[in-house]
A = this chain, B = another copy of it.
């Protein structure tokens, strides 16, 4: 590790405290980004195969220009009239099913999920929430309770309201039509109905991205959605990672699941890194929430944030980036198939649009996760100039989720490098 990095790590320890997440054994000191490329302080170029926040590319000129133009013109809160937020919500909701017509703009996906759970409480009058046991939905006191991989030691007793179902895993646990998952949800609903809390909502990423994006047939979530409806609960789809065309086949992952969520939560890629999130619901749901709680967010929906978010939608449309994600994702899957034939450690490969990865195992028969080896691979890739990460219950799945302009040529560089690293490691 260069001395300058050691010095930056020492400053982090002093100014941020311990236990602050950082990537790689030898962290990367970034100074510049453009499209799918990042540069470190020594001028070394990296192919970014990880970052979904810069959805339409690092430092996308249209987004930068939109931010600059609006920041130079007016930036204020929404207690004055302004078209920016209205135009954006109109365009955003036009991409969703007909029930979803209203939104609250926030600054983060955490804030949006925090609202979504309160909407479910306000509408149902109940508080019991179900999520999977390998998910992540944000960092507020309320929302952080949804995570099991990172249970907070403190949390104002909120853990009582949450129940967790085993996350889907298409590689290890056969559930081809989602019936076992629906049964697990039904069990937790029954448990909550016997508690004082009752059942308010199921919240899921409809692509189960943190869970390791299991391979699922279209409509896999329909049985679980039916169970939720039958119990009078609400269905919250957290599209923070899976939305905005990322999965290639559909603009929203809930469409592929053939379900109609009551509430959709948005964040990360929404404004290409500018802090923007949102909660979308029907007017009825919004009305109940707005009458039970006079929510106001000082920065939420400000003209600059909305200009940045609008530029992302325009960029997606002009360059047809969803179709592009589908095409490049198909190509990546083919390259993954070739690697799987060559390397025994690749137990399973999964892909949809520009989210793809390989689950690494020590033994294809036992499927024992190669968690440490996955970490070795990721660090070796970083030293060869390719940035990616890992995820899933066993942290043994390569997490490849690049900015949407990622090309087949970029995929070639990624897989040629991965081939080298797997051969050497």
Contacts and interface: CB of A to CB of B under 8 A. Distances in A.
B80 A14 contact: no
A338 interface: no
Interface stretch (A203-211, A291-299, A350-358): A291-299
Given A27-B80, A127-B157, A294 B21 contact: yes
Contacts of A274: 71, 75, 299, 304
A98 interface: no
Interface residues of A, number: 102
For A23, A118, A122, the residue with the greatest tally of chain B CB atoms inside 10 Å of its CB is A118
Contacts of A71: 59, 63-64, 67-68, 274
Contacts of A292: 152-154
A236 interface: no
B286 A17 contact: yes
* Integer count of this chain's copies in the complex: 2
A18 interface: yes
Given A15-B102, A152-B118, A275-B299, A76 B109 contact: no
11 contacts: A15-B102, A18-B291, A19-B294, A20-B78, A53-B298, A58-B75, A64-B72, A71-B274, A75-B274, A127-B157, A275-B302
A58 B76 CA distance: 9
Interface string A1-17: 00001001101101111
B75 A273 contact: yes
Contact of A9 (B73, B79, B81): B81
A141 B139 contact: no
Contact of A293 (B15, B82, B104, B153): B153
Nearest to A308: B71
A111 B140 contact: yes
